[in-house]
Every structure is written in C-alpha cells, then in structure tokens.
Amino acid sequence: MANAVELKGLTKRIGSKTVVDNLTFDIPEGEVFGFLGPNGAGKTTTIRMMVGLTSITSGSVSIRGHDVVREHEQAIRQVGAIVENPEMYKYLTGYQNLKQYARMLPGVNNRRIEEMVEFVGLSDSIHQRVKTYSLGMRQRLGLAQALLHNPSVLILDEPTNGLDPAGIRELRDHLRTLARTQGVSVIVSSHLLSEMELMCDRVAIIQHGKLVNVERIGDAAGSERAQAPLKVFVEVDGPSQAYVALNGFAGVERVSVVDRGVEVETRREHVPSIHRRLVEADIAVYELRVMNRSLEDRFLEMTGGVPSDARTSVE
Ligand SMILES: Nc1ncnc2c1ncn2[C@@H]1O[C@H](COP(=O)(O)OP(=O)(O)O)[C@@H](O)[C@H]1O
Ligand SMILES: [Mg+2]
C-alpha cells in the first residue's frame, strides 16, 4: 500500500522548548492511525503542523507525495480536518452551515452535501438549528463538513472528547467505513488508550513530543498476539507436581519452579491447555498471571499512571 502521509524528523520548538521532537513515521492508505499520549504530549501541535496551522521548525510532512510547506495547496486539498472545535454558526441550521462552508470548496454540490449528511446519520435533524444539537450531533456535522470535498486524508484531533460510549462506537464505525471502503487514511488523536484500541489499526505513542513506539492494535494484532511469547506465573498448591505435569508438555518452552508455583514460558495460544493440564492432574490453581506487560501497562507506566501489575486471567 502506498503511504498517504509521511512525517520525517518533524520538530517544533516554541521558545526554548521542543514541543514536538523529531517524529518520523508513515501512514498508509486506508489505515486508521492514532496519536496516543497524555495531555501536553504534543499531539495537537503535530496535527497543526500537518495541516499548516502552525509553522514547522524542522523536518517535513508530505501528504500524497506533496510537501505541506512547499506544495501547500496540493497537499491540503487532500486533507479534511477537525482541529479544536469546528466553527459552526449556531443560529443557522446544520444544512445552512454546510452550504456556507461548501461555497469555499470548488466542486461541492447539493448532492454531495446530502450524501455526507446521510453518511453521518443527520438526515432527520439537518434542518434544525445547530444550537439545538447535542454534542454528538455537532461532532457528526463537523465530520460531514470535513468530508465535503472528498479528502483522502482525514485528521481529527481528540474526536471522542465529550462523546458517550455509543457515540464513540458510531464514530468508529464511520471512520472504519471510510478507511475500508474508500481507502481514506484517518488520523485521530486521544489521551485514552481504551478509545484508541477501539478505533485504530495502529497507534503512535507520543510522550514529551517524542515518539515512544508505533504499535499495531485491534483485530490485526489478535493473531500476532496469539503467537507472542509469554511468561506465565501459575500459583499452585504443589509446585513440583506442576513442574512434572508441564515439563515437556505441548507448547511449553520452559518451566521452572518458583516461590509458591511455577513460571512457564509459552505462547498465548497455549495458555488454556496449560491450565487444563494442571486441573486434570488434580493440581489446585490459585492464580495464573501473564507476566509480560500489555500495551496498557506499558502506556500507563510511560505516562505516569499506575500499572496494573496483577492481571489475573484465572483464579
Ligand atoms: N502556542 C504555544 N505556546 C507555548 N507553548 C505551547 C503552545 N502550544 C502548545 N504549547 C505547549 O506544547 C506542548 C504540547 O502541547 P499540545 O500539542 O497541545 O499537546 P497535546 O495536544 O498532546 O495535549 C505543551 O506543553 C503545551 O503547553
Ligand atoms: Mg491536544
């Protein structure tokens, strides 16, 4: 797949502070990609540079092969974005707002407006004034507006702020549809891992302006995860019996006796059969804990939260 967006060494200094520090990564066509990081990490500043709302100190952003600085118009033509709150006229209807906005966009006709209204599910209320809209409805109107000119890259800064779980699910469905059926590259930012896990194919974890890691999450990570090597601690009443039961058992790379139990090196897919083996050998299992830290634990640790160390799968 071709890259829709490329960041190379993207850096922003404000005064003496490096707010975005040398970010380099690519986002292919048709991917939902997340910027994940705590408040102040530099997500909004990165997005503002990507859409030309603030200057770039060094490095570059290219969108569909066009540099956002040197070929600003060609690059920006490809982009639909909601950064900060979308500007809406509250005393106009949703439809009037879209009409107003469409006047600035060549080639956007009434039919296109209606298609987008239908796509975001606002057909019933599009002729009501925006001041009567809920936050979720305003978000949907914002999304329709950002999509009017048929962008191939959609950028939404903290789009789930203020949405309830149903609203988040709906937004996710819209974003996935755009990515999967039209090859739109969608970039969303959030400080909440739980929301990013629901929406994204991959996330870039950003902290203090630096890229910590890019990780694949969601469905695509599922099969990778099954194969991932794990170390599992099993608390049992008879560690040496457990050792005998598991030594050489299918899927067990290594087993060793530790305080109050055994440690097993295996792969995630073998964990259920290891558990079953112990139960069948009449060994009482008090706890079975995967010791490799999940993305969530690592994220919490990176961002100063408390890692949930005891992730007990079976008790
Ligand atoms: N115009 C500005 N002047 C000074 N500092 C700024 C400005 N904009 C952002 N910052 C600082 O840059 C850092 C990153 O901010 P921001 O990009 O908004 O983070 P995020 O969106 O991840 O919460 C913060 O420390 C913020 O205070
Ligand atoms: Mg922000």
Residue 154 lies in a domain: yes
Q: Whose CA is nearest to atom 6 of ligand 1?
A: 14
pLDDT band at 210 (very low <50, low <70, confident <90, very high): very high
Give Cβ neighbours of residue 152 (< 8 Å, ≥ 6 apart). 4, 29, 64, 78, 183, 184, 185
CB 31, CB 186: distance < 8 Å: yes
117 and 211 inside one domain: yes
Place of tokens 């209204």: 117
Which of 13, 14, 21 best tests ligand 1's pocket when mutated (most atoms within 8 Å of CB)?
14
Per the model's pLDDT, the better-predicted residue between 184 and 299 turns out to be 184
Computed on alpha carbons and rounded to an integer, the radius of gyration of the chain in Å comes to: 24
- Residue 160 to residue 188: CA distance in whole angstroms: 9
pLDDT band at 165 (very low <50, low <70, confident <90, very high): confident
**Closest ligand (CA of 19):** 1
Q: Whose CA is nearest to atom 2 of ligand 1?
A: 14
Question: Which of 109-113, 132-136, 142-146 is least confident?
Answer: 132-136
CA atoms 15, 17, 18, 20: torsion sign: negative
Tell me the average pLDDT of the chain.
89
Residue 220 lies in a domain: no
Per the model's pLDDT, the better-predicted residue between 308 and 107 turns out to be 107
Give the pLDDT of residue 227: 72
163 and 250 inside one domain: no
Give the pLDDT of residue 221: 62
Residues measured by CB to lie within 5 Å of ligand 2, the ion: 43-44
Q: How many domains does the chain have?
A: 2
182 and 306 inside one domain: no
pLDDT band at 79 (very low <50, low <70, confident <90, very high): very high
Å from CA of 84 to ligand 2 middle: 8
pTM of the shown model: 0.78
> Has residue 107 got a pLDDT over 70?
yes
**Closest ligand (CA of 83):** 2
Å from CA of 282 to ligand 2 middle: 54
> Has residue 109 got a pLDDT over 90?
yes
CATH code, domain carrying 305: 3.30.70.980
Å from CA of 162 to ligand 2 middle: 14
> Has residue 314 got a pLDDT over 60?
no
**185: domain range?**
3-215
Ligand 1-lining residues (CB < 6 angstroms): 14, 19, 37, 39-45
Question: Which of 99-103, 121-125, 167-171, 281-285 is least confident?
Answer: 167-171
